[in-house]
Amino acid sequence: MMKKVLVTGATGFLGKYVVEELVEHGYQVRAFGRNSKVGRSLENTSVSFFQGDLTNADDVTEACKEMDLVVHAGALSTVWGPWEDFYQANVLGTKYVLEACRQVGMQRLVYVSSPSIYAAPKDQLAIKESDAPEVNNLNNYIRSKLASERLFKDYPDVPSIILRPRGLFGIGDTSILPRVINLSQKIGIPLIGDGRQLMDMTCVENVALAIRLALEVPEAKGEVYNITNGEPKAFRDLLEESLTGLGYPIKYRKIPASLLAGIASSLEFLYKSLNLKGEPPLTRYTYYLLRYSQTLDISKAERELGYRPKISISEGIEQYVQDYRKH
């Protein structure tokens, strides 16, 4: 029997890759999302589109009917915005998914959370899943991800797995590389010290693979897994490899850490107190990314899920560059 999987956030960057990975491995997919144009483009003999909104409990309940498995990848994932927006989309949305899974007796739910919850003003190497803090109020996105993870302990009857994939990039990426290109051209990339801070990235195809493994491996039930490419690199090396390939000159701005920290805090304060639209050009979260090393330990996923990245970071960058040149 072909297993039927509901994929939320199917019209987003990661979602499209998840749908593809599952179809390649013989699943019937119901793609859930708001964007009907993208949704319809995903449809084929193995994929049907369900237009719905995660903040609408009825949509979620309806979408879960007749499904065996759920991949919950839909979320509001920007670094800035009012708590209410994040609460609706990420906390309530996840609660509705858990409720619906309970109602239909779902065989398994894989939830895509975020390692941004580990963010802190210090170097952190080989972070384990158990190192997650109880509270982290650095931004509302992080708060909402922690709150949504906490919901799972109220649903012990729903067999669930939580994944925390770090720094997704690939063709179709709308956040990481486009932002970097923009920044480099406008004002230059802020460089703190020598730019040797270590960071992890993950090719989006590898995240889709990890999600499928989490659906399939019996022992994974109830566990949490960090997911990366397993090849931490210096911030500067990642930048140079990407931008050189794309044919952009790199402009750096050497900025003292304390100045950058001050700017980030001031901007956040201004945006909050004046209720400004959009996001600050620099946030404390981005400052932490630039300032401190942060790498994740993925040995648990390797050991228990049998996770092995299928594309290296260099291959991922190369693919992105090839695609970018076409356009």
> What are residue 8's DSSP bridge partners?
32, 72
Residue written as token pair 């903040």? 55
Own/partner long-range contacts of 265-274 (Cβ < 8 Å, ≥24 apart): 271/80
Is the distance from CB of 220 to CB of 214 less than 8 angstroms?
yes
Q: Work out the number of other CB atoms within 10 angstroms of the CB of residue 38.
A: 16
**Any residues with CB less than 8 A from the CB of 173 and at least 6 apart, and which?**
13, 204, 320
Is the distance from CB of 33 to CB of 10 less than 8 angstroms?
yes
Annotated catalytic residue, options 27, 87, 96, 141: 141
> What are residue 225's DSSP bridge partners?
163
The verdict on whether 96 is a catalytic residue reads no
Rounded CA-CA distance 156/173 in Å is 34
Rounded CA-CA distance 125/123 in Å is 7
User: Which residues are tagged catalytic?
Assistant: 141
